[in-house]
Structure 1
């Protein structure tokens, strides 16, 4: 399924008893990285034209947690917190009597940024023992000396015994090439087997392996690397998207080919974890009663359009994401080609579970994808990039003089996509138009040739967003040092 997801999320609900998750699949050597997801799509319903509302984790998750666009929820690069006055999907399920569990492997999706609301338990997948103290500085040490210094500086930040256990796990026992998904899968398996709560449950999990840095297990990487490339050569390629954007270093075509191979291997590894989750649900007699949703929160550039990572633009490479439903009314639903958005998840899940939540419904722009829904189909989808992340000031602080092409990304972008056209407009006057039926990779700007189409789509964007409250420039939430280091490791800072 192209384009591939970056972070991959699974959302499970079980109106009958308890809820869940994912698929299985054949992990035999080959060029196809996602047999589990393909099997789920074949057995359930796949949405081929699903779009995120933003090209990176924080605003995209905020949208499908609340059913709102970035202009509405106001969570973006200059305001990195999901405001308390917004109703969330986990809150709706919790108030409807569900046990609500979250497992996050992405530092953005934590209580620090407001994503814990509605969850009885929101676990941090990168920690062996749940703790507010993050030992990420130890993990990122380049050599033994750096690791020892980081241990000395951080060990007593909170409970030293808990910190020591987390360091031991990350440095000795964490599986090679895994960034939390294996342990998350094991934890969910154990939780399913040990729970005695008779309530149905809502379960959310974010896997982060398909994300910089791409470091899949060797056995997965070797399936997808280009001919003649070794695992050692591929993993030695520098992976620093912001430095690449700022022309601090270059990546050759061959190196990009190796990075794409590593990325596909990361997808294959996560796909295997989805299979393990499906097996756990089957083993604990939950599978038949489970509604499963698998989606990517955004895509990834690995050389496309001259970018590395997922910032500063609204190309479909970043917005067109996988979306698969399995179970209940979505069984044997085939492939659906209508335009849909990730922010349609709240309306869809609540209708499927038979839950009415007036507070959430009042705020959302969500439309149900339930096969029996009376909601109108979309004739267009929208996306926003409210503020650069990281900011241009941060790039200048790190790199000094930055290229003019990067400086021009200090702008706000909005996009509309119809079945035929994609139009993007910036608050600096930037605009481009693509005829996506003949130019699906958005390489040719036809705005000069079709001025009437530009005017029509510009009006649609203004009608959609101008009445909304402006997501203004607000000071960022102060992050803990450990959070900053982990986000920098993921290419965000």
Structure 2
């Protein structure tokens, strides 16, 4: 294989993909290799991408809600490709995956989908603002960082004029198509794309929503539902079963829309005569709760709804590979991609826990997968600043969680003594805690967690590391510091 394309469908959970919502991905599954039991190492974007880029777990890379920067001493997948002579291009539509948070290393170019005019002054803090007050405060603080006219144009684009129903995927695939058409480089390329459409807010084009909304529901009714996961957590408002059903319809419509963008990306590679020589990988970075377990969004817990993600690999040795049922992790992708294209990068290999999924790999199959939630995001203090007193249920989220999952059991433990055990063969939705009934299984899996993580240094806090001044200001804008 010559080229590598890695596409992350942000917030895509495995349970919601399939022939109805994601026919393009389903076709890739039929032609390539599908990993039915793929798991993220963290339940939200920043730490999950850090694991994906470095092959390390969150407590190893230390990138989380308390320290939102990918440290420079960690080797990244784009750096490995760049040093091997690849042209490296990133297209990000998620404001966490940008240079301000350390994700630009190794990329020749990292484009920001929320910017109408590509600029070093990033207005992503405005996009990330969870309410109007945060957005206005971020805009005031960042407007004069660079060219205020360009900054104002980018804010207006992201907040007002960005096409309805699209959060950057269409513009991204159009740009990639043009880049491939005009590209004159002889060297191979590594292309990373993050498409964020399945993320809140769910606002698919009406034609897509009409296919997935419950019978009798209207597009206007569905899109009028308030979509504010943190406010829902803090009991600032409630959602009925019907409203959650409508939201699930919108979410499925978003998956269908972004799946069509995936088809456009494939066509662009075919038109450029690069498809047959490209290793094409599609995955989610984490999942989503839409009423499951009483949650909305993807924070504060480690249920499989957030960790089990789609993973499909097409091209080269993965063509015609069928469905593979073994437990795998997204952090296995660095070793897999590099081995498949023949790149030897000892530094990246040795720093983490990545195991190659290449069909001829000598790596031992995993008998368990692990995940971590290192620090609440947003912090409990930030929630209190926004909502005042928050419910005891939310206060309980102020803890660190670790999980180990085998083919039979899932065990989750918190640093406050919280623990749950589930038989995932008989209880795949993790409704029944059987920790009290099976103390021996709890002991075994607790030891597995301690064996995996106890030797690791505790993840650094924001006060323990040096961050760029721009990053510090942005985090202060949004209440993180």
1:420 aligned to 2:408?
yes
Distance 1:379 1:135, change over 3 A: closer
**Gap change, CA 1:244 and 1:300, over 3 Å in 2:** same
Mapped contact 2:95–2:127 kept (Cα < 8 A): no
- CA–CA separation in structure 1 for the residues paired with 2:139 and 2:46: 29
Equivalent pair of 2:125/2:474 in contact (CA under 8 Å): no
Q: Against the structure 1 CA distance between its residues 97 and 443, is the aligned structure 2 distance closer, same or farther, given a 3 Å change threshold?
A: same
What does residue 60 of structure 1 align with? Answer: 48
Which aligned pairs between 1:253-268 and structure 2 lie closer than 5 A? 253-268=241-256
Tell me what 1:192 maps to. Answer: 180
1:104 aligned to 84, 89, 92, which one? 92
| Alpha-carbon distance in structure 2 between the residues aligned to 1:391 and 1:141 | 14
Q: Secondary structure at the match of 2:60?
A: helix
User: Which residue matches 1:301?
Assistant: 289
Tell whether 2:115 aligns with 1:130: no
Q: CA offset at residue 158 of structure 1?
A: 2.4
Once the two structures are TM-superposed, the CA of residue 222 in structure 1 deviates from its matched residue by 1.1
Q: Report the equivalent of 2:432.
A: 444
Q: CA deviation at 1:180?
A: 0.5
- C-alpha displacement at 1:114, in angstroms? 0.4
Task: Check whether the contact 1:19–1:286 (CA below 8 A) recurs between aligned residues.
Answer: no
Kept in 2, the 8 Å contact 1:133–1:482? The answer is: no
What does 1:90-489 correspond to in 2, within 5 Å? 90-134=78-122, 157-163=145-151, 165-166=153-154, 169-170=157-158, 174-475=162-463
Q: Look up the SS of the partner of 1:20 in the other structure.
A: strand
How many angstroms does 1:437 deviate by?
0.2
Taking the aligned partners of 1:316 and 1:152, their CA distance within structure 2 comes to: 39
Deviation string 1:102-135 (CA, Å, 9 cap, x unpaired) is 0100011000000000101011011121113345
Q: Is the 8 A contact 2:138 2:474 kept in 1?
A: no
How far apart in 2 are the matches of 1:358 and 1:138? 39
Following superposition, the deviation at residue 472 of structure 1 comes to: 3.4
Change beyond 3 A, Cα 1:244–1:119: same
Secondary structure of the residue aligned to 1:49 is strand
**What does 1:29-48 align with in structure 2 at a 5 Å threshold?**
32-48=20-36
**Partner Cα distance (1:150, 1:454) in 2:** 46
Displacement of 1:196: 0.9
Distance 1:43 1:136 in 2: 37
- The Cα shift of 1:227 comes to 1.1
More deviation, 71-80/477-486? 477-486
Q: CA RMSD in A?
A: 2.9
Equivalent position SS for 2:5: coil
Partner of 1:25: none
Q: Which residue number corresponds to residue 3 of structure 1? A: none
Between the aligned partners of 1:148 and 1:389, the Cα distance in structure 2 is: 21
8 Å Cα contact 1:137-1:485 kept in structure 2: no
Q: Secondary structure of 2:243's match?
A: helix
* CA–CA distance in structure 2, aligned partners of residues 411 and 147 of structure 1: 28
Q: Report the alpha carbon displacement of residue 159 of structure 1 after superposing the two structures with TM.
A: 2.0
Task: Please give the per-residue CA displacement for 1:320-374, whole angstroms capped at 9, x wherever unaligned.
Answer: 0000000000001000000000000011001001011011111010100000000
Preserved CA contact (<8 Å) 1:136 1:485: no
Q: Which among 60, 65, 80 is matched to residue 68 of structure 2?
A: 80
Aligned to 1:20: 5
Mapped contact 1:20–1:281 kept (Cα < 8 A): no
Residue 486 and residue 422 in structure 1: after superposition, are their counterparts in 2 closer, same or farther (change >3 A)?
A: farther
Q: Distance in 2 between matches of 1:271 and 1:361?
A: 32
Three-state SS of the structure 2 residue aligned to 1:423 is strand
The answer as to whether partners of 1:59 and 1:75 remain within 8 angstroms in 2 is yes
Q: Give the unaligned 5+ runs of structure 1.
A: 1-14, 23-29
Partner Cα distance (2:353, 2:202) in 1: 34
Query: Contact between 1:20 and 1:287, CA under 8 Å: does it hold in 2?
Result: no
Instruction: Sort the Cα spacing of 1:384 and 1:151 in 2 relative to 1 into closer, same or farther, 3 A.
Output: closer
Deviation at residue 411 of structure 1 after TM alignment: 0.7
